[in-house]
Structure 1
Amino acid sequence: MARLIGLLYGLAALANLTTAKPVCRDESTKYEAEDAVLSGTQILTAQSGFSGSGYVGGFDTGTDKITFTIPSSSAKLYDLSIRYAGIYGDKRTNVVLNGASTEVSLPATDSFATVSGGQILLNEGTNTLEIVSNWGWYLIDYILITPATKGGAHNINTNLPSSCTLTSAPIYGKKILSGQQDLSYANYVSSTTGKTPALVSSDLMDYSPSRVAHQGDVSHAVEEAITHHQRGGIVSILWHWNAPTGLYDTSENPWWSGFYTRATNFDIAATLANPQGTNYNLLIRDIDAIAYQLKRLQSAGVPVLWRPLHEAEGGWFWWGAKGSAPAKQLYHIMYERLTKVHGLNNLIWVWNSVAQDWYPGDEVVDIVSTDVYAQGNGPMSAQYNELVALGKDRKMVAAAEVGAAPRPDLLVAYGAHWLWFCTWGDSFIDNADWNSPAVLNEIYHHDYVLTLDEIQGWKNIGAAQL
């Protein structure tokens, strides 16, 4: 594992590179929402505290939006701030700049507040910025753009919680590892572009005991991970954890959807509150079953970028359904069980949330990551900046799942120094609305993007040489 970490730091640490989080100058321009072009939305005034003559609401269907026209005398990077009111709960919006989309979180509020929308790279001339419904049901007061400058140097910690000996070499910010979910779709990328992703992600979902009980042992995820490792690739592993028990198994929520909150009555908070209970024992049984599969990878010499309890803060998976405290407690239980009880030392622990109150702590996290599903092959700068802040720029950041692979020129322009991206499989990598063959070829043949052929030999190189 030290060699993989050495590679990642070799691919990831450049002491004199700057972070993407900018320092703002004083010149700012405000664009009132009520002056924008409205599509399916409306000007309102009932909520107090707004700027100008009103604000815009009515984001209640998927196509509802407001459109700002923003002129620029030159190509220039700006900070984007959005003043909004999230009076109907936590929401998300799509910010679409000149056709490239990024997702921005709008936390619940009682009144108007301001949230960062990441950066926007304005072209010389006229630019179009849209705020499109996404989760909908929020209020937009105005947007503010401010010229951005690059920040200070990265300060990445090269001593991971796994206590491996690490080295630092000049890569983070100069390159990004290409990645793909599932070996079959990595092969699709190969046939489409002539290049193979450096990283392949596999899912241990079908090793969940409650799935094995229904369908038997049918998964080949471990074998596929070993195959990619043997051809010189890097392996990432996630686990859509079918609930240990309490599956509804109805036509609306069949047993195989048991990782969803809607498909099970398994209560993680109640389970953790009763360590002597049957459900707690089943929870440990499941972790032990996955430990067996991870040991197979360890025996095969496969270092693993291990991403458990992914997307917890969304609440749509049962491990996040009861809030941050049970999710963090479960993460710590899993960490102790896998590392101390089972002695697994091939795992690099990847946390998968941008929210500060969900973060389980520096001592159990090696890399921070998030999943971004936004069309347009953009740089995902808002999420990048949130992760840099979450890890205090001491942790490398990864786009662990994306719907649209990022265009390298935008990553460079925005200074979004993702360590890797991993595009999801069916309906995304093979869907031209998300990733056209032309864009995939642009990405996979770009000097900024590392592919399988360009990382060969990393397993045989001492970490100190990387």
Structure 2
Amino acid sequence: MRSFKLQQHLVLFCIFFIAASSCKKSSTPAEEKKPVVVTERFNINATLVTPSPSFEANKLYQFLKENYGKQVLSGVMTLNSFDETKWLKDNTGKEPAIIGLDFMHCNRNYNWYDNKAPIKDAKAYWLRNGIPVFVWHWRDPSRKTEEFYTDKTTFDISKINDLESAEYKAMIADIDYISGLLKELQADKVPVIWRPLHEAAGGWFWWGAKGAAACKKLYQVMYDRMVNHHKLNNLIWVWTREPNDDAWYPGDQYVDIIGRDIYKQGDHGSQVAEFTALNALYGSKKMVAISECGSMPDVANLTKDAAAWSWFMPWYGDFTRNSAHNSLDLWKKMFASSYVITLDEMPSLKN
């Protein structure tokens, strides 16, 4: 009888174990080789560059730091309120941990646009434990055009050095307006991963049209204006690296995280060469992320190559939905992986 009962107990235990295991995310054989843990690979800065950061900003940064090299956060860029997060939810049953938002249409007096829309979206996603990342396709501050591309506006960023110039005053006015929006999030205890002046060294945006010195100065002026003048302490500052842009880098005291925008259609490799180079360039002290991408890296390649990107974020539209860039099967694979953090797996980082 004891033997029979023991067999019964073993059978019940096996059934319970199998059932419990089936509720967890799967790990494919290709994912079994996990990257070496963060403490053995990196020496990430312990604190944010902002003095006395908000509780939530610090908690978010520590969360990113603790997971760096252990897991990757999923993200997606949006154009209209939750368009891509909803599409992913409808088609995969999951949503990404990070939502990408843009101040592109703000402060332009467009009668068709609600300037508070991105702020509302950021707060709503944060309340669900998601992470808002903001970029700013900054339209011509002079208002002579509605453009941000270098070949469509003659706005002169070099005037950032002339405090009496109309251009300087226009840039400061725009920074002040965006700071006001970010203050609303600060008041609501919402931290923001803030990625201004992205892809500057590429030269295709006006903020990169006059070379490294002017752009570097604008980034530093923006930091000073937002942090010291407006007392914003809920921001995590990201510099978006371009190849060979050492002279453009604002400085370690202005940057928390390094981003890299990678557009290689159909390439789902880990981009480990870029990761390794960036990690070395910044002395293993700055986390690095795929701040934008066309085709996202396959999780099997990320784990195989130990490419410890903090997050990945495909752009909206076809980059998210078209299989030429990212197939639905790949999205499902990513979201099912134990290495990829989705919205439903995010802890509350609130006070």
Q: 1:322 aligns with which of 193, 210, 213?
A: 210
Question: Are residues 1:277 and 2:174 paired?
Answer: no
Q: 2:83 aligns with which of 169, 176, 184?
A: 184
Q: What per-residue deviation string (whole Å, max 9, x for no partner) do you get for residues 297-345 of structure 1? A: 1112110000000110110000011111111000000000000110100
1:452–1:161 Cα change, 3 Å: same
Match of 1:280, SS state, is helix
**What residue is the counterpart of 1:266 in the other structure?**
155
Residues 260 and 316 in structure 1, CA contact (< 8 A), matched pair in contact too: yes
| Displacement after TM superposition at 1:15 (Å) | 4.2
1:159–1:457 Cα change, 3 Å: closer
| Mapping 1:334-353, distance limit 5 Å | 334-353=222-241
Code of the residue aligned with 1:162 in structure 2: it is T
Residues 324 and 357 in structure 1, CA contact (< 8 A), matched pair in contact too: yes
Find the aligned partners of 2:288 and 2:36 in 1 and give their Cα distance: 12
By relative contact order (CA 8 Å, sep 6+), the higher-ranking structure is 2
Q: What per-residue deviation string (whole Å, max 9, x for no partner) do you get for residues 183-239 of structure 1? A: 2101111112111100101101111x3x32x54653411111111111111111111
By percentage of residues, which structure has more helix?
2
Q: 1:385 aligns with which of 276, 288, 291?
A: 276
Identical amino acids, percent of aligned pairs: 40
Find the aligned partners of 1:405 and 1:170 in 2 and give their Cα distance: 23
Code of the residue aligned with 1:156 in structure 2: it is I
**What residue is the counterpart of 2:31 in the other structure?**
none
Find the aligned partners of 1:160 and 1:297 in 2 and give their Cα distance: 18
Q: 2:99 aligns with which of 181, 185, 200?
A: 200
Q: TM-score under structure 2 normalisation?
A: 0.81
Residues 311 and 353 in structure 1, CA contact (< 8 A), matched pair in contact too: yes
Code of the residue aligned with 1:451 in structure 2: it is T
**What residue is the counterpart of 2:246 in the other structure?**
356
In structure 2, stretches of 5+ residues that fail to align are: 1-34
Question: Are residues 1:374 and 2:270 paired?
Answer: no
Find the aligned partners of 2:131 and 2:139 in 1 and give their Cα distance: 26
| Mapping 1:51-62, distance limit 5 Å | none
Residues 246 and 264 in structure 1, CA contact (< 8 A), matched pair in contact too: no
| Displacement after TM superposition at 1:170 (Å) | 4.6
Find the aligned partners of 1:243 and 1:390 in 2 and give their Cα distance: 33
Match of 1:206, SS state, is coil
Code of the residue aligned with 2:306 in structure 1: it is G
**What residue is the counterpart of 1:225 in the other structure?**
122
Code of the residue aligned with 1:192 in structure 2: it is N
Q: What per-residue deviation string (whole Å, max 9, x for no partner) do you get for residues 46-83 of structure 1? A: xxxxxxxxxxxxxxxxxxxxxxxxxxxxxxxxxxxxxx
Q: What per-residue deviation string (whole Å, max 9, x for no partner) do you get for residues 251-295 of structure 1? A: xxxx3xx111111110111x1232111121111101001011111
1:418–1:15 Cα change, 3 Å: closer
**What residue is the counterpart of 1:424 in the other structure?**
315
Residues 138 and 148 in structure 2, CA contact (< 8 A), matched pair in contact too: yes
| Displacement after TM superposition at 1:433 (Å) | 0.5
**What residue is the counterpart of 1:158 in the other structure?**
46
Find the aligned partners of 2:182 and 2:215 in 1 and give their Cα distance: 21
Find the aligned partners of 1:332 and 1:297 in 2 and give their Cα distance: 22
| Mapping 1:60-459, distance limit 5 Å | 153-163=41-51, 164=53, 170-182=66-78, 183-207=82-106, 209=107, 211-212=108-109, 214-215=110-111, 217-219=113-115, 220-245=117-142, 247-248=144-145, 255=146, 258-269=147-158, 271-354=159-242, 355-375=245-265, 376-459=267-350
> How many positions carry a matched residue from both structures?
302
Residues 38 and 69 in structure 2, CA contact (< 8 A), matched pair in contact too: no
1:227–1:389 Cα change, 3 Å: same
By percentage of residues, which structure has more strand?
1
